[in-house]
């Protein structure tokens, strides 16, 4: 009886602790809540882009009220690929990512991925441009049934070890 009571109390404690957590996902916001500097930066950097959604990342902890980043989800005219751009509150473009199907990957990246991940299927990739300092990286998602991995390459097809990736790529979910 003591064991059952102890298990019930532990279970209630775990449920109560989980109920206090606030998810840290990006919250969609209307365009009117996006600072003018951020909107102008979007228009300047991607003049042919149509923004479908703005969202805000309010920080690394649930109590942060000051936005860390504003994110746009957009497509450029004539393209069906999704683009994502991230801005700091002062309008500085921090990050840009373009979703890519495997058939759109450069041949050297695709060949390198297939050589390294022989039994895996290339699901998709993201072409990531990080600013300040400017870096361009391909993030390739590969899958072998339930096992999913990410591989990172330079534009020249050279594999980037995870320990050498920019810190911003590891800290933030893009």
Answer for the pair 73, 83: CB distance below 8 angstroms, yes or no: yes
What pLDDT, on a 0 to 100 scale, did the predictor assign at position 133? 84
What pLDDT, on a 0 to 100 scale, did the predictor assign at position 42? 96
Answer for the pair 137, 153: CB distance below 8 angstroms, yes or no: yes
pLDDT digits (tens, 9 = 90+) for 111-129: 999 999 989 999 999 999 9
pLDDT digits (tens, 9 = 90+) for 85-97: 999 999 999 889 9
pLDDT of 47 above 90: yes
pLDDT of 152 above 60: yes
Answer for the pair 87, 174: CB distance below 8 angstroms, yes or no: no
- Give the pair of three-digit tokens for residue 125: 């990739």
Which residue segments constitute the domains of the chain, with CATH numbers given? 29-171 (3.10.450.360)
pLDDT digits (tens, 9 = 90+) for 5-15: 655 565 555 54
Work out the burial of residue 42: count CB atoms within 10 Å of its CB; fewer than 13 is exposed, 13-18 middle, 19 or more buried: buried
What pLDDT, on a 0 to 100 scale, did the predictor assign at position 11? 57
């Amino acid at each position: 009886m003591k064991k059952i009571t102890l298990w019930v109390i532990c279970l209630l404690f775990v449920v109560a602790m989980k109920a206090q957590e606030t998810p840290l996902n990006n919250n969609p916001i209307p365009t009117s809540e996006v600072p003018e500097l951020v909107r102008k930066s979007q228009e300047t950097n991607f003049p042919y882009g149509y923004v479908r959604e703005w969202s805000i990342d309010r920080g690394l902890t649930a109590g942060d009220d000051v936005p860390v980043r504003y994110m746009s989800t957009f497509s450029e005219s004539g393209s069906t690929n999704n683009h994502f751009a991230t801005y700091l509150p002062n309008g500085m473009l921090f990050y840009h990512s373009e979703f890519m199907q495997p058939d759109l990957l450069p041949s050297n990246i695709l060949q390198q991925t297939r050589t390294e991940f022989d039994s895996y299927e290339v699901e998709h990739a993201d072409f990531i441009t990080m600013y300040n300092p400017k870096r361009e990286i391909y993030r390739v998602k590969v899958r072998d049934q339930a096992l999913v991995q990410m591989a990172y390459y330079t534009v020249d097809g050279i594999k980037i070890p995870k320990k050498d990736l920019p810190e911003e790529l590891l800290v933030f979910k893009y």
